[in-house]
Amino acid sequence: MHAFSPEDMTSKAWSKLIKGSIIPRPIAWITTQNKDNVINAAPFSYFNIFTPTILAVSIQYDPTQRKDTARNLIDRKEAVVHIPDKALLAQMDQTSSPLPSNESEIELAGLHIVASDLVQPPGIQEAKVRIETKLEAHIPLTVKDSDAIETELFLLRIVKAHLAADIYDVTTGYVDSEKLDPVARLGGPDYSIIDKIKDFKRNF
């Protein structure tokens, strides 16, 4: 096997290696609002659950221009996290386009909003899963042996979840992953969908 250390590679080369290895990564499609109530939407693949009520997303830090989602989370402390599905892939990808902070990616992608119940930012109406959250903690993470911020980790407390009726079985309490049809991030520009292993039986 090849062996690598981050100190022996450029940050770009190391990032490609790690992002191509740790796959598939779920995507948080996040809506926030700025101080002028402009709605921002953007996807992030450094994302997962920490507990059943805490989500974690890390947003790369740029000292010259903090991303709108990060700034809005720090300022307003609320967000709606969506799980994008295959049918929304093109529109989700559009929302990753850099726009001035006074313009909304919702309009750019031809999406519609729906009011939230417990937070100010609205959700994306077309998404099959939307999760209302409030900021629990904001943790800047620095480059090794440096004070320079590399990324910002946001822990988001879930306060309410909305699921499309056709993906949730009220009898079993399970979400139907095939009907949800979520997309995940691979290395480079690639995405994946779920293909369940159906012939495997757990031993416990």
Domains observed in the chain: 24-191 (2.30.110.10)
The closest alpha carbon to 158, from 129, 178, 184, 183, belongs to 129
Q: Rounded distance, CA 189 to CA 47, Å? A: 17
Q: pLDDT for 6-62, tens place per residue?
A: 999 998 999 999 999 999 999 999 999 999 999 999 999 999 999 999 999 999 998
pTM score, whole prediction: 0.94
Any alpha helices (H) in the chain, and if so which ranges? 11-21, 68-76, 89-94, 105-108, 177-180
Tokens of 182: 């979520």
